């Protein structure tokens, strides 16, 4: 099993995680609108969003909350 699954878009990652459709617009609004690396760890139920070239994750998206 890979350590993480990478995604081309936040929408693809939210669909895979099962984020409720009614919560996805807010997640998109709170996530930086810049080219980013988006992934979901194999054993953790969240999405990590890190702007390309940065060392720190900018946003974590869970099914029920967003952490910045």
Give pLDDT tens digits for 6-18: 999 999 999 999 9
Residue given tokens 């997640």 in the structure block: 27
Mean pLDDT taken over the chain: 92
Q: What's the predicted TM-score (pTM) here? A: 0.89
CB-based contact 49:58 (threshold 8 Å): yes
The residue segments making up the domain with residue 16 are: 4-67
Q: How far apart are CA 18 and CA 55, in angstroms?
A: 27
The pLDDT of residue 1 is: 60
What is the average per-residue pLDDT within 8-35? 93
Gap between the terminal Cα atoms of the chain: 28
Number of domains in the chain: 1
């Amino acid at each position: 099993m890979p350590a993480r699954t990478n995604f081309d878009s936040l929408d693809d990652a939210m669909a895979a995680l099962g984020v409720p459709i009614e919560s996805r617009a807010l997640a998109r609004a709170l996530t930086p609108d810049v080219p980013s690396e988006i992934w979901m760890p194999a054993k953790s139920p969240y999405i990590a969003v890190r702007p390309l070239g940065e060392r720190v994750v900018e946003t974590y998206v869970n099914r029920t909350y967003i952490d910045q």
